[in-house]
C-alpha cells in the first residue's frame, strides 16, 4: 500500500502536461474563467492558516511546489498577509502550447462516454422502462435549477416497500467527478441485465432493495460538462455574488464543526452553506433516507483510490471502527482481485483530510449503519486526476462491482427484518463523540441540532 500521509493534499509527479491540456483546451468549453489565476506555494507553508484565511481550490503538487486555483481578487490580500507565491497561469498555458494538438480524444462530444444530466435521465428511464418488473425510477427531490434528482430502485417488487434490507449507492456530490456517476449507473445496468442469467444477482434483487442515485448534483454536473470542467459545487447564487455550496459539507452531522473540514466563506470550494440541509439536493437525500430504512450506503467520489469510513469531522475512531475497517478491507481485496489495483483503507479524517458535514458521517452518525466513501481511481494527477479516460470507465466499474455486491450480501446476511430500530449490528447503540450529543433525533435528521 502507498502511505496516505504523502497524500494529505495530493500526490503528483512532474508529468502533468496531459492534465493541463484538458484543463485549458477541452474543445467547446470555457474551462478556465478569466476571474481566476493559478498560483503556487512552497510545500513548507502553513497550510492550516492558509486554508482558514482564503478560499483556495487545490489543483496539483509538483516537486516542492503546491498549485491552487484562486480568484484574482484574493491575490493582493494573500501577498499582504506575507505569503510568497508564484503566478503560474501563463506558465502552464505555455506548457499547453507545446503539446501536440489532437493528442486527446473525447468521443461523442464534450463529455464523450460520460453522461450529462440529459443523457443520464435517458439512461435511467430506459432501465426503468426496459426492466419494469425489477426497476422503478423515483424522484426524491429537485435541484436548485429544477433538475430531477433520480433514485432508481431495483428489487423484485420495486413499486412497494418490502421488509427487506436497503442499500444506497450514490454518485456525483461533486460535479467534476464524472466517474462517480458512471460506476453506480453501470452497477444498476449490471443488476437488471443479469437478473435472469445469474442466480447470485437474482437472489440479491429478490432479497434486497438497491437504490441507485447516480447524480446528487445534476446542476453542477452539467456546468462541469458545458462550461467549466473543474466545477465542484452546486449552483447556488450566494449572497456575496459567488456561486456554489459544497454538497458534501451540507449534511447535518457535525455541520460547521470547524473551519478546516469545511468553510464559512461562500467563495471557498468547501463552503458548507448557510445551514445544514440548506440545499435542495441534500434535502432530497435526507428525505430519501428518512423515508427508507437503509442498512448501508456507499458514496462514490474521485480521486485517490481509497475506501474511507467515519469519522471525517475529527481524527477519532468510530465505535464500530473495527467492523467498518474489516468491511472496507474486504471490499478493497475484492477490488484488487479484478485489475490488481490497490485501494487504501482507512478512517477518513486520518487517511485523507478533515471533512465535516459530509454524507458518510451523517449516515453513520444518525442512522447507525455502515457508510463508506469510495474514492475511485486514479491515484493522483499523474494518472489523470479528475480526467479519467473513457477507456477507464468499464475497468473501474468492473473492479468496484464485486465490492458493492459483497456489501449488499453482507447486509442481507445481517438483516433483522421487522424489528424496528434494528441496525445491521443489532441493538448496540452508537457512542457519540465530542460535541455529538443528540437530544431530539427528529430535529437531528432535519438539520436543526446545531445553530
The predicted model gives 271-282 an average pLDDT of 98
pLDDT at 128 over 80: yes
Given this model, what pLDDT does residue 45 score?
Answer: 76
Span of 21-25, 275-279, 295-299 with lowest mean pLDDT: 21-25
In eight-state DSSP terms, residue 381 is G
C-alpha cell at 289: 433516507
Those residues whose C-beta lies under 8 Å from the C-beta of residue 281, and which sit 6 or more positions away, are 141, 143, 144, 149, 216, 217, 234, 247
The chain-wide mean pLDDT, for the chain, equals 81
> What are the structural domain ranges in the chain?
4-97, 117-416+433-445
Those residues whose C-beta lies under 8 Å from the C-beta of residue 126, and which sit 6 or more positions away, are none
Residue with cell 449507473: 185
State the pairing for strand pair 306-309/344-347.
parallel
In eight-state DSSP terms, residue 339 is H
Residue with cell 445544514: 276
What value, to the nearest 5°, has the Cα angle with vertex 251 and ends 245 and 254? 115
pLDDT at 111 over 60: yes
pLDDT at 421 over 60: no
pLDDT at 12 over 50: no
Separation of alpha carbons 291 and 7, rounded Å: 38
Span of 45-54, 222-231, 256-265 with lowest mean pLDDT: 45-54
pLDDT tens digits for range 335-391: 999 999 999 999 998 766 789 999 999 999 999 999 999 999 864 444 444 566 788
Superfamily of domain 117-416+433-445: Zn peptidases (3.40.630.10)
Residues in the chain: 451
Confidence of residue 201 (pLDDT cuts 50, 70, 90): very high
Long-range contacts of 438-446 (CB under 8 A, 24+ apart): 438/366, 441/366, 444/252, 444/366, 445/252, 445/286, 445/290, 445/366, 446/252, 446/277, 446/286
Given this model, what pLDDT does residue 60 score?
Answer: 58
Give the CA-trace dihedral at 424, 429, 434, 436, to 10 degrees: 80
Given this model, what pLDDT does residue 451 score?
Answer: 25
The predicted model gives 105-121 an average pLDDT of 74
pLDDT at 105 over 90: no
Task: Assess contact for 56 and 68: CB atoms under 8 A.
Answer: yes
Given this model, what pLDDT does residue 92 score?
Answer: 59
Residue with cell 435526507: 286
pLDDT at 399 over 70: yes
Given this model, what pLDDT does residue 88 score?
Answer: 82
Those residues whose C-beta lies under 8 Å from the C-beta of residue 335, and which sit 6 or more positions away, are 341, 343, 399, 400, 402, 403
Give CA separation, 28 vs 192, 225, 344, in Å.
35, 10, 36
The predicted model gives 43-51 an average pLDDT of 72
Confidence of residue 55 (pLDDT cuts 50, 70, 90): confident
Catalytic residues: 375
Residue 80 has, within 13 A of its CA and on its CB side, a CA count of 7
CATH for 4-97? 3.30.70
State what percent of residues in the chain have pLDDT above 70: 75
What value, to the nearest 5°, has the Cα angle with vertex 161 and ends 324 and 294? 15
Given this model, what pLDDT does residue 54 score?
Answer: 80
What value, to the nearest 5°, has the Cα angle with vertex 174 and ends 168 and 177? 90
pLDDT at 417 over 80: no
pLDDT at 134 over 80: yes
Task: Assess contact for 438 and 449: CB atoms under 8 A.
Answer: yes
Given this model, what pLDDT does residue 320 score?
Answer: 95
- φ/ψ of residue 144, rounded to 5: -60, -40
Whole-prediction pTM = 0.76
Task: Assess contact for 262 and 249: CB atoms under 8 A.
Answer: yes
Span of 39-43, 142-146, 308-312 with lowest mean pLDDT: 39-43
- Across 270-338, the runs of DSSP E, i.e. the strands, are 296-302, 306-309
Confidence of residue 125 (pLDDT cuts 50, 70, 90): very high
Amino acid at each position: 500500500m502507498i502511505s496516505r500521509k504523502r497524500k494529505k493534499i495530493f500526490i503528483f509527479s512532474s508529468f502533468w502536461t496531459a492534465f493541463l491540456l484538458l484543463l485549458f483546451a477541452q474543445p467547446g468549453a470555457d474551462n478556465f474563467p478569466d476571474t481566476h489565476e493559478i498560483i503556487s506555494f512552497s510545500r513548507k507553508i502553513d497550510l492550516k492558516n492558509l486554508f482558514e484565511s482564503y478560499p483556495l481550490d487545490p489543483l496539483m503538487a509538483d516537486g516542492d511546489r503546491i498549485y491552487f486555483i484562486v480568484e484574482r481578487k484574493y491575490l493582493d490580500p494573500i501577498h499582504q498577509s506575507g505569503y510568497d507565491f508564484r503566478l503560474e497561469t501563463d506558465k502552464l498555458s505555455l506548457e499547453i502550447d507545446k503539446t501536440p494538438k489532437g493528442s486527446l480524444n473525447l468521443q461523442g462530444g464534450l463529455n464523450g462516454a460520460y453522461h450529462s444530466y440529459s443523457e443520464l435521465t435517458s439512461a435511467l428511464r430506459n432501465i426503468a422502462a426496459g426492466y419494469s418488473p425489477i426497476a422503478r425510477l423515483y424522484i426524491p427531490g429537485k435541484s436548485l435549477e429544477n433538475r430531477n434528482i433520480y433514485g432508481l430502485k431495483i428489487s423484485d417488487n420495486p413499486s412497494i416497500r418490502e421488509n427487506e434490507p436497503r442499500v444506497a449507492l450514490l454518485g456525483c456530490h461533486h460535479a467534476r467527478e464524472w466517474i462517480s456517476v458512471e460506476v453506480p449507473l453501470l452497477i444498476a445496468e449490471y443488476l437488471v441485465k443479469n437478473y435472469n442469467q445469474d442466480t447470485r444477482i437474482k437472489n440479491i434483487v429478490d432479497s434486497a432493495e438497491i437504490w441507485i442515485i447516480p447524480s446528487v448534483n445534476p446542476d453542477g454536473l452539467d456546468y462541469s460538462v458545458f462550461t467549466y470542467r473543474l466545477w465542484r459545487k452546486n449552483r447556488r447564487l450566494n449572497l456575496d455574488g459567488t456561486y456554489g455550496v459544497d454538497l458534501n459539507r451540507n449534511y447535518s452531522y457535525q455541520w460547521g464543526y470547524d473551519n478546516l473540514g469545511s468553510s464559512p466563506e461562500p467563495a471557498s470550494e468547501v463552503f458548507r452553506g448557510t445551514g445544514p440541509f440548506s440545499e435542495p439536493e441534500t434535502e432530497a437525500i435526507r428525505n430519501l433516507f428518512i423515508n427508507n430504512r437503509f442498512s448501508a450506503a456507499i458514496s462514490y467520489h474521485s480521486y485517490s483510490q481509497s475506501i474511507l469510513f467515519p469519522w471525517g469531522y475529527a481524527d477519532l475512531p468510530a465505535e464500530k471502527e473495527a467492523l467498518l475497517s474489516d468491511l472496507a478491507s474486504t471490499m478493497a481485496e475484492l477490488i484488487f482481485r479484478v485489475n490488481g489495483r490497490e485501494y487504501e483503507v482507512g478512517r477518513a479524517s486520518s487517511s485523507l483530510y478533515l471533512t465535516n458535514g459530509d454524507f458518510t458521517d451523517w449516515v453513520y452518525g444518525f442512522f447507525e449503519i455502515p457508510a463508506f466513501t469510495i474514492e475511485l481511481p486514479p491515484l493522483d494527477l499523474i494518472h489523470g486526476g479528475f480526467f479519467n479516460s473513457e477507456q477507464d470507465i468499464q475497468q473501474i466499474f468492473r473492479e468496484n462491482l464485486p465490492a458493492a455486491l459483497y456489501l449488499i450480501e453482507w447486509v442481507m446476511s445481517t438483516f433483522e427484518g421487522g424489528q424496528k430500530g434494528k441496525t445491521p449490528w443489532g441493538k448496540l447503540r452508537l457512542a457519540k463523540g465530542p460535541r455529538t450529543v443528540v437530544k431530539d433525533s427528529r430535529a437531528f435528521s432535519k438539520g436543526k441540532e446545531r445553530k
